[in-house]
Amino acid sequence: QSALTQPASVSGSPGQSITISCTGTSSDVGAYNYVSWFQQHPGKAPKLMIYDVSDRPSGVSNRFSGSKSGNTASLTISGLQAEDEADYYCSSYTSSSNWVFGGGTKLTVL
Amino acid sequence: EVQLLESGGGLKQPGGSLRLSCAASGFIFNNYAMNWVRQAPGKGLEWVSGISGSGGGTYYSDLVKGRCTISRDNSKNTLFLQMDNLRAEDTAIYYCAKCIGTSGRRPIDFWGQGTLVTVSS
């Protein structure tokens, strides 16, 4: 199972919006609405930000939103804040009854 | 409060074995599927294995299939990972992770702090 494809890095200024893409195949992202997004700060465990493509767990800011079109899912962060600077990973359920992660995207807040 | 506490990491010999444990608290353990996810130093997340809430369904990454066994003791609220024939590329932080529901199709919603496994002679 190949990893999902994410850009290595994205950046934005405080207050701006950014979008991180996550491209898979018709056997994972395109097959199920089971895409999640995780935020990971250095030295910390990942934190769930979005699940089932666009649902937000309680306690996660509504500045975080998710969507999907075909084999590509996206995470959008609006009103960027310094604390959003972190690594972001997407993941998807697959037709092999497994989970696959993206390679990760480093978000820099300028 | 949900808590997941991994143990069993450390320095392991190539070709050797490891048994990781994850003690869970703060939720009804047998109602939730669980996963192991690893992260090599400076690298991304890699799903290793998952198990349904009842333990009747187990799932493995192609990278570890045949070398790994995931199991759980619902009477002791503990998740396990046995990995044999260890290789240098198994060096990573191993995270125990709780799913949203009982099925392996449900996503991870909480992670432990991880236990570092280093495979080296």
The pLDDT-based confidence of B101 (bands split at 50, 70, 90) is confident
Question: In the 8-state DSSP scheme, what is residue A4?
Answer: B
Q: Residue A1: its pLDDT value, please?
A: 67
Residues of A in contact with B60 (CB under 8 A): 98
Q: Residue A32: its pLDDT value, please?
A: 94
State yes or no: pLDDT of A97 exceeds 80: yes
Partner-chain contact A52 B112, CB within 8 Å? no
Number of alpha carbons in the 13 Å side-chain half-sphere of residue A51: 14
**Alpha-carbon distance B56 to B100, whole Å?**
17
**Alpha-carbon distance A30 to B36, whole Å?**
24
Mutate to test the interface with B, among A90, A99, A100, A105 (most CBs of B within 10 A): A99
Residue A100 near residue A85 (C-beta atoms within 8 A): no
Q: Which residue of chain B has the CA closest to A5?
A: B44
Residues B25-39 pLDDT 10s: 999 999 999 999 999
Helix, strand, coil percentages, rounded to 5, for chain A? 5, 50, 50
Q: Residue A42: its pLDDT value, please?
A: 96
Residues A61-90 pLDDT 10s: 999 999 999 999 999 999 999 999 999 999
Q: Residue B105: its pLDDT value, please?
A: 84
Residues of A in contact with B37 (CB under 8 A): 101
Mutate to test the interface with A, among B3, B43, B45, B108 (most CBs of A within 10 A): B45
Number of alpha carbons in the 13 Å side-chain half-sphere of residue B33: 23
Q: Is A31 on the interface with B (CB under 8 A)?
A: no
